[in-house]
Amino acid sequence: MLKKISKIPFKGTAEQKAKLDAVIAECKDNKSLLMKVMQDAQEIYGYLPYEVQVMIAEGMDVPLEKVYGVSTFYAQFALSPKGEYNISVCLGTACYVKGSQEVLDKITEVVGITEGECTADGKFSLEACRCIGACGLAPVMMINDEVYGKLTAKEVPDILKKYGA
Amino acid sequence: MENTNLVNIKINGMPLSVPAGISILEAARYAGIEIPTLCYLKDINEIGACRICMVEVVGARSLVTACVFPVSDGMEIYTNTEKVRKSRKMTLELILSTHSKECLTCVRSGTCELQQLCKEFGVDDSDAFKGEVIHYDFDDSAAHMIRDNNKCILCRRCIAACDNQGVSVIGANARGFDTHVSSAFDKDLADVSCISCGQCIVNCPTGAIVEKDDTAKVLEAIHDPEKFVIVNTAPSIRATLGEAFGMHIGTNVEGKMVAALRRLGFDKVFDTDFAADLTIMEEATELVERVKNGGVLPMITSCSPGWIKYCEHYYPELIPHLSTCKSPQQMFGAVMKTYYAQKMGIDPKNMVVVGIMPCTAKKFETKRDDEAASGYPDIDFALTTRELARMIESAGIFFRHLPDEEFDQPFGESTGAGTIFGATGGVMEAALRTAVKLITGNEAPSIDFEEVRGMKNIKEADYKVGDLDVKVAVASGTKNAKVLMDKIKSGEADYLFIEIMGCPGGCINGGGQPIQHAVVRNFVDLKARRAAALYDDDKNDVKRMSHENEGVKKLYEEFLGEPCSHKAHEVLHTSYVERKKYN
């Protein structure tokens, strides 16, 4: 699956930059720590947009393309920010056979973004995840830490309404 | 092979002693056996990814990749068993399952390594593994090339070539079936800091990366009776063009090249070597002036547009070190559309000047600002050696049987100094030959500056010219240039003059040169053999110093005044711009 590159303008703060600079200062003499720096950067910013990857590339003296290559290879790295409400739909085997794809499609219809994207107002982000260990409740989705089980696509709009969709 | 540990191995039953630690691929060559490769590029791409070079090793659990598997004592290797052949054929079929099969219209048909292997291994069903195919859009954003990932086999040779240039603007992105070669954030090539050197093109085994073809536009100009079409050929073309017609590497085909260009219908066939001599007059004078007047030193050559773009993107703070001289190609065009147009009574508007260049960055260079002395672009089209070869082929010219002809005058005259511009160290040597004269007033006692010749990445030499210590450095390949640039930045560099050529080995190994398969690049010293043709030419020249070029002298007398005069600056010098590393 190709990762979607967010078009939402970067809103990094000076405080975030200071944190990342500190991580880079600690790691810059060992290029094999690139992954660690990227993981920490994602902790700090929530995702790895262009601006952050440039900071990492310059700081670690690694070509930007190499940073991007790593960020698109590993599933753990996100190129889109997480919304205020991150919707995570389980596409694990049990949920999938119980119809979680329809749930996912319905969410897309309601909030207007597809998997891996974030709404322009930063309110919702959507991701498909693997088994979250709640197969008994399949199909399952999570909105931040809230778990919704035994879902049908029909229930989706009402649930999302609670979050202001 | 003395002083190395030898191991005894058997290849296809043949006993043989080879140096310990070399790969099976290299060992097989001692036995006269060529193992096919696709991804392997000696020293720069040894990743064992493509699985074409699989061989059987007795006792091994499965087939092994010959390109990266080291030999050991007692090893028994079989390179051509049925199991091996079946494996290679299946690998090719799998590659073909996602490969665009537009071979009939592909510019690399006939020089494609994948096509050749399919033929060699008897692939008879290109749809053996028919399945899902991702369609990629072309990237034709850059001035010099087109990337068509539908033809990419993910061998990663282009990536290795780009890394080897210290540029690294392309890489493998995404994962699994989605893996594709592109730039960071999948930006167009024109929007990243690509230097247009074209090393990715000459290292691509297929037609996934090709130069932008300008031959149709050139033919249109030739057929337009209004247009006076002048061609000029860069120093290195005579040393490489023959390869496109199956001639030995390092054959000097100057006479046949001139004959072919005349038969293609160019109105005048001139030699860029003339402009190389002119460049030396300007550049050597500029250097002497900088030394006298306390100008920015070390001064760095500016002939290579790939290098210039590299400097602008990656070391903009060092731009003042660059000589302001236009490249020989651009000087040539500038002289044509000013002096020659005037002399011939031709409106420069109706003059079309074409460069035959070893270089894809030359295509970018023609479109730069401040490269239009007459008000019209100095050069209209820069064709690569490959494009010229295609023009000759499609015109039905039997190149190998052409008579040897001479360049037209007055811009066909050149010295040995101009000719060696095509190889790393050549510009430096040419400049030194003339600088000695400029500084001391006398000819140099010896004009062979051997220290700056050869294919070493970085060369340094110290000369005493009159009272002046002239410490010089020469680097080819931008990754090696980087070493010198970092030295300048840190204040360690005590050089007076630096020559940089963007491509490893210089123009003879430029991104526009004839395609040689990886097997040649890996095992033949391509650069040295091509360069030898130029140094031989120089050795046999009667005149070997740029300031002896009568045509150049006349140009100064009649038009420019003297080197670095106001007029010369207007016509022959240019300016540079700071470019961003990230856009």
Q: Which residues of B touch A3 (CB under 8 A)?
A: 174
User: Which residues in B lie closer than 8 A to residue A66 (C-beta atoms)?
Assistant: 168, 171
Mean pLDDT of B33-51: 96
Query: Measured in Å, how far apart are chain A's first and last C-alpha atoms?
Result: 27
Q: What is the C-alpha separation between B217 and B377, in angstroms, rounded?
A: 15
- Distance to chain B for A164, nearest Cα, Å: 32
Amino acid identity at A82? K
Chain B residues close to A67, C-beta within 8 Å: 184
Burial of residue A80, with CB atoms counted within 10 A of its CB: 0-12 exposed, 13-18 middle, 19 or more buried: buried
A122: Cβ contacts below 8 Å, ≥ 6 apart: A8, A81, A83, A84
Residues of A with CB under 8 A from a CB of B: 1-3, 5, 50, 53-54, 63-69, 72-74
Half-sphere exposure of B425 (CA within 13 A, CB side): 21
Residue of B nearest to A65 (CA): B184
pLDDT at B1 over 60: no
- How many angstroms separate the first and last alpha carbons of chain B? 51
Inter-chain CB proximity B178 and A53 less than 8 Å: no
Taking CB atoms and an 8 Å cutoff, what residues of chain A touch B175?
72-74
Helix then strand then coil, in percent of chain A rounded to 5, is: 50, 10, 40
What are the tokens at B352? Answer: 């079309």
Q: With 60 as the cut, is the pLDDT of residue B533 above it?
A: yes
What are the tens digits of pLDDT across the range B394-430?
999 999 999 999 999 999 999 999 999 999 999 999 9
CB contact under 8 A, B171 and A50: no
Specify burial of residue A145 (Cβ count, 10 A radius: 0-12, 13-18, 19+).
exposed
Contact B325/B572 with Cβ under 8 angstroms? yes
- Which chain B residue has its CA at the smallest distance from A66's CA? B171
Per-residue confidence at B440, pLDDT binned at 50, 70, 90?
very high
Torsion, CA A101, CA A103, CA A105, CA A110, rounded to 10: -170
Contacts of B569 (CB under 8 A, 6+ apart): B324
pLDDT at B580 over 80: yes
Residues above pLDDT 70, as percent of chain A: 100
Chain A contacts of B192, Cβ < 8 Å?
65
Report pLDDT for B69. 97
Quick: pLDDT tens for A86-115: 999 999 999 999 999 999 999 999 999 999
CA-to-CA distance for B89 and B72, rounded, in angstroms?
27
pLDDT at A2: 85
In A, which residues are within 8 Å of B170 by CB distance? 65
The verdict on a CB contact (< 8 Å) between A72 and B175 is yes
Reported as half-sphere exposure (CB side, CA atoms, 13 A), residue B362 has a value of 33
What is the reported pLDDT for B2? Answer: 53
Kindly determine whether residue B169 and residue A65, on different chains, have CB atoms separated by under 8 Å.
yes
pLDDT confidence band for B28 (50 / 70 / 90): very high
Using a CB-CB distance cutoff of 8 angstroms, which residues of chain B are in contact with residue A73? 173-175
How far apart CA A25 and CA B11 sit, in angstroms, is: 52
Which residues in B have their CB inside 8 Å of a CB on A?
163, 168-175, 178, 183-186, 192, 582
Identify the H or E element spanning B181.
strand B180-182
Which residues of chain B does A5 touch, with a Cβ-Cβ cutoff of 8 Å? 185-186
Within 8 A by CB and 6+ apart from B307, the residues are B195, B301, B478, B481, B500, B501, B502
Query: What pLDDT is attached to residue B217?
Result: 98
Q: Which of A31, A47, A51, A72 to mutate to test the interface with B (most CBs of B within 10 A)?
A: A72
- Measured distance CA(B325)–CA(B286) in Å, rounded: 9
Distance from the B214 Cα atom to the nearest Cα atom in chain A, whole angstroms: 30
Joined together, the tokens standing for residue B513 give 């040169």
Beta bridge partners of A128: A89
Q: Tokens 């760095």 label which residue? A: B300
| CB neighbour burial string for B386-425, b if at least 16 within 10 angstroms, e if fewer | bbbbbbbeeeebebeebeebebbeebbbbbbbbbbbbbbb
Contact (CB<8Å) B170/A68: no
In chain B, residues with a C-beta closer than 8 Å to the C-beta of A69 are 171-173
pLDDT digits (tens, 9 = 90+) for B59-95: 999 999 999 999 999 999 999 999 999 999 999 999 9
Best of A65, A67, A77 to disrupt the B interface (most B CBs within 10 Å) is A65
Distance to chain B for A63, nearest Cα, Å: 6
The one-letter amino acid code at A151 reads: L
Which band of pLDDT confidence, cut at 50, 70 and 90, is reported for residue B20? very high
Smallest Cα distance from A83 to chain B, Å:
21
Taking the CA of residue A47 and the nearest CA in chain B, the distance in Å comes to 14
Mean pLDDT across chain B: 97
pLDDT tens-digit readout, B283-327? 999 999 999 999 999 999 999 999 999 999 999 999 999 999 999
Best mutation target among B156, B168, B313 (most A Cβ atoms within 10 Å) is B168
**Pick from B228, B317, B248: which is nearest to B581 by CA?**
B317
Q: What is the pLDDT of residue A165?
A: 82
Give me the sign of the Cα torsion angle B322, B327, B330, B334: positive
Q: Measured between alpha carbons, how far is B93 from B116 in angstroms, rounded to an integer?
A: 13
Q: Per the structure block, which two tokens stand in for B493?
A: 């560099």
Of A1, A68, A74, the CB nearest to B173: A68
- Candidates A1, A65, A74; nearest CB to B171: A65
pLDDT surpassing 60 at residue B372 = yes
Contacts of A161 (CB under 8 A, 6+ apart): none
Residue A6 has pLDDT above 60, yes or no: yes
Q: List the strands of the sheet with B497-501, edge to edge.
A: B299-300, B497-501, B468-476, B458-465
A129 or B458: whose pLDDT is higher? B458
Q: According to the model, what pLDDT value does residue B4 have?
A: 72
Nearest residue on chain A to B173, alpha-carbon basis: A69
Cross-chain residue pair A73–B175, CB shorter than 8 Å: yes
pLDDT tens profile B215-247: 999 999 999 999 999 999 999 999 999 999 999
**What's the pLDDT at B180?**
98
Q: For residue A87, what pLDDT is reported?
A: 96
Whether the pLDDT of residue B3 is over 90: the answer is no
Size of interface A-B (CB pairs under 8 A): 42
Q: Which amino acid is at A118?
A: C
pLDDT of B583 reads 83
Residues in A closer than 8 angstroms to B479, CB to CB, are none
In this predicted structure, the answer to whether residue B393 has a pLDDT above a threshold of 80 is yes
Between the alpha carbon of residue B79 and those of residues B29, B68, B87, the distances in Å are 12, 15, 11
Q: Is B40 left (phi over 0), alpha (psi -120 to 50) or beta?
A: beta
- Beta strands B458-465 and B209-211, pairing class: unpaired
Contact A47, A80 (CB under 8 A): yes
Residue B389 near residue B241, CB atoms below 8 Å: yes
Tokens coding B109: 């048909």
Taking a C-beta distance cutoff of 8 angstroms, is the pair B67, B522 a contact? Answer: no
Instruction: Give me the DSSP letters along A20-66.
Output: HHHHHHHHTT-GGGHHHHHHHHHHHHSS--HHHHHHHHHHHT--HHH
Nearest Cα neighbor of B538 from B416, B425, B418 is B416
In angstroms, rounded to a whole number, what is the distance separating the alpha carbons of residues A47 and A16? 12
ipTM of the shown complex:
0.94
Rounded to a whole number, what is the largest CA-CA distance in chain A? 54
Token code pair at residue B321: 């070190």
Q: Are A163 and A124 in contact (CB under 8 A)?
A: yes
Cβ proximity of B335 and B210 under 8 Å? no
Q: Which of A2, A53, A66 sits opposite B171 (nearest CB)?
A: A66
Place of tokens 């932008």: B212
pLDDT at B523 over 70: yes
Find the angle CA(B96)-CA(B99)-CA(B101) to the nearest 5 degrees. 90
